[in-house]
Structure 1
Amino acid sequence: MCPDEKVPADFPRELFRALLAGANPKLAIRLIDGKCYAGLTEEELLERYKACDDLAEQLASYCTRKESENPSWTRKFNLARTREGVERKVTTGLWDLSAAEQRWVMARVQQLLGW
């Protein structure tokens, strides 16, 4: 990871997702290079951030294109339609985004568009 690459403070930092058998509560811990991690490493977090930010930029371009192609659409409708498309891709397993990452991506789209 380059020192100048930073994950913004508002990007979701969730625990690592894992399925652990048994009835008692558990915490998933991973041992990586002699260190224990209960969440993502800085490199993994940066990778997820970059992917989400890239997706937000692509979706902002998509919304801009759809706005010009469909002048009768409101911006609210355009964003809702885009949000539903993202949710559908996640639900069908095509994209791997958490609910928090989906919210962040859509907030970033709005920020990029200035809507």
Structure 2
Amino acid sequence: MTRPHVVPEDFPRESSPGLVSGRQPKLLVRETNGRYYAGITDEELWIRYDACEDLAGQLADYGLRKMSGSGLSFDAALGRVEKGLRARVASGQWDFSRDEVAWMMKRAGELLSGTVNSDRARNAGV
């Protein structure tokens, strides 16, 4: 039995932006498997979340390497991670919304903080 995909409540659920010219109001929809959708499907939401969660983990690992290798503070390492993420999104290398970037930075901070705290506890003999 497969477990259903669960997307956290704090993950952005924005619909795809669209613009259609004309005088009459229009509803922007698309057809997928014979059904019409005004936003993204549950599967598309899961795919976006999964990609963001994976990248947040990679960003936290990168931040940890910066902290241990370069001696950067937590905030400085997280700032460097955010700068790189925003640069790649701005250049078009990565396709994430502003809200997804904010979510990934929050999540990367949580993951990095958890790793740093567990390392400190392990080093203190707790």
Cα shift at 1:46: 0.4
Coordinate RMSD, CA, aligned: 1.8
After TM superposition, the structure 1 = structure 2 runs for residues 3-82 of structure 1, keeping only pairs within 5 Å, are 3-22=3-22, 26-71=26-71, 73-82=72-81
User: What TM-score, normalized by structure 2, do the two folds share?
Assistant: 0.80
Partner of 1:91 in structure 2?
90
Q: Percent same amino acid among aligned pairs?
A: 43
Aligned length: 113
After superposition, the C-alpha distances for 1:27-82 in whole angstroms (9 at most, x for unaligned) are 421122232211110111100100000000000100001100111x2211111111
Cα shift at 1:26: 4.3
Structure 1 runs (4+) greater than 6 angstroms displaced: none
Are 2:60 and 2:111, in contact at CA under 8 Å, matched by a contact in 1?
yes
Structure 2, unmatched stretches of 5+, are 115-126
Cα shift at 1:22: 4.0
Q: Which amino acid aligns with 1:59?
A: L
Are 1:16 and 1:28, in contact at CA under 8 Å, matched by a contact in 2?
no
Q: Which amino acid aligns with 1:61?
A: D
Q: Which amino acid aligns with 1:100?
A: D
Name the larger-Rg structure: 2
Structure 1, unmatched stretches of 5+, are none
Partner of 1:105 in structure 2?
104
Cα shift at 1:108: 0.4
Q: Report the Cα distance in structure 1 between the residues aligned to 2:109 and 2:7, rounded to whole angstroms.
A: 19
Are 2:53 and 2:104, in contact at CA under 8 Å, matched by a contact in 1?
yes
Are 2:12 and 2:100, in contact at CA under 8 Å, matched by a contact in 1?
yes
Q: Which amino acid aligns with 1:30?
A: R
